[in-house]
Amino acid sequence: MKISLAPKVIKGDVRATAQLIRRIDDGDRDVFDDLAVLYKHSGRAHIVGFTGSPGVGKSTLVDRVVTKYREDGKTVGILAIDPTSPFTGGAILGDRIRMQKHFLDEGVFIRSMATRGKFGGLTRSTADAMVVLDAMGKDVIVIETVGVGQDEVDIANSAHTTVLVTIPGMGDDIQAIKAGLMEIGDIFVVNKADREGAGKTIRELNFMLHMSSERYVASGWVPPVIDTIAPTNQGIDGLYETINRHREHLFQCCRDELIKKEETRVRNQLMDLLKEGLMETALQRIGGIEGLNGCVKEIVNREKDPYGVTFDLLKKLLGG
């Protein structure tokens, strides 16, 4: 057992937390003993996901909502998965300067997750980082993701409350929402609502929600559509109240749904951990990267085929 940072993290030590999350993001496998300890202390934070295409203003929305949490005395952890987010350093200077007030606030802990490990590491490392922030004692964990791709959907799906953000005139976003994002949204936000076509976008979303209203009978929560203009704070109070109302809904009125969400998250996390562990062992047994490259060359030359190689390797690994 290599537990070194967990006790400090539980006490809220910022340096230890930063160090552990960095090691998670680096793919360091020695973190698991610490995480096992921290896991028992997790499960208290409200996890809120903000998901949407680059350019819809997610970061400014997050910034404004986090300000509301701080006014209420709540502590917040932010994990940015969006490569264009100012939190990850990917945005223009102005955005980053705007965020500085939170960087200087001890009640807010901001980190970006970047590394896609060899074997689907981003979902796994984000789940691990959530455990750390939760065990550290943060009241709320905000995850910011680009709303596209299976990884991002999985990450968004691991939140208790998922806010899907779009802007007027993003017909492609509406397509994407139709094509699969719809069911993960608990709250829909039309940001930059002073732009032309805002009314139309809001109507389209409401219509789509109306068309699938039978989906919401069981939970009793019909996702509301909220219009905001983040830079001038318009609609932020309403959004903040709605997020808290959804939290109440989950934690008090509808425990079944909460438990279902928790189970989904744990199931995904367990599968990701297993996958990574199995694949690392498989890679070792095949002779590391060198052994793998040898196999690949034989297959490219059609001396072998990928199906036979897999069959042999599975037999070698698992016996029987």
Binding site for its own copies (CB under 8 A): 32-33, 35-36, 39-40, 43, 53-55, 83-84, 90, 116, 119-120, 122, 146, 148-152, 170-172, 175-176, 179-180, 259, 262-263, 266-267, 269-271, 273-275, 277-279, 281-282, 292-293, 295-297, 299-300, 302, 305-311, 313-314, 317-319
Of 175 and 232, which has the nearer Cβ to its own copies? 175
**Comparison of 210 and 302: residue with beta carbon closer to its own copies:** 302
Q: Between residues 108 and 136, which has the closer beta carbon with respect to its own copies? A: 136
Rounded Cα gap, residues 63 and 292, in angstroms? 45
Q: Which residues of 84-104 are buried (b: 16+ CB within 10 A; e: fewer)?
A: bbbbbebbeeebbeebeebee
Give least dist CB 104 to its own copies, A.
27
**181's tokens:** 């994002």
Q: In the complex with its own copies, which residue's Cβ is closer, 1 or 104?
A: 1
Give the position of tokens 């940015």: 80
Q: Whole-angstrom Cα distance, residue 177 to residue 163?
A: 12
Do the Cβ atoms of 61 and 240 come closer than 8 Å? no
Minimum distance of its own copies from residue 151's CB (angstroms)? 5
Nearest to 134 by CA among 246, 46, 259: 46
101 vs 251 by CB, closer to its own copies = 251
Nearest distance in Å: CB 70, its own copies = 29
How far apart (Å, rounded) are the C-alpha atoms in residues 225 and 207?
Answer: 11
8 A C-beta contact, residue 260 and residue 254: no
Nearest-approach distance from CB 300 to its own copies, in angstroms: 5
- DSSP assignments along 228-263, one per residue: -BGGGTBTHHHHHHHHHHHHHIIIII-HHHHHHHHH
Nearer to its own copies by C-beta: 32 or 221? 32
Q: Which is nearer to its own copies, 15 or 116 (CB)?
A: 116
State the nearest-atom distance from the C-beta of 69 to its own copies, in Å.
Answer: 25
The nearest distance, CB 240 to its own copies, in angstroms, is: 26
Tell me the torsion sign for CA atoms 63, 263, 37, 277: negative
Q: What is the 3-state secondary structure (H, E, C) of 268-283?
A: HHHHHHHHHHHHHHHH
Least separation in angstroms between CB 124 and its own copies: 10
> How many Cβ atoms from other residues are within 10 Å of residue 189's Cβ?
28
Tokens representing 112? 């970006």
Nearest approach in angstroms of CB 285 to its own copies is 9
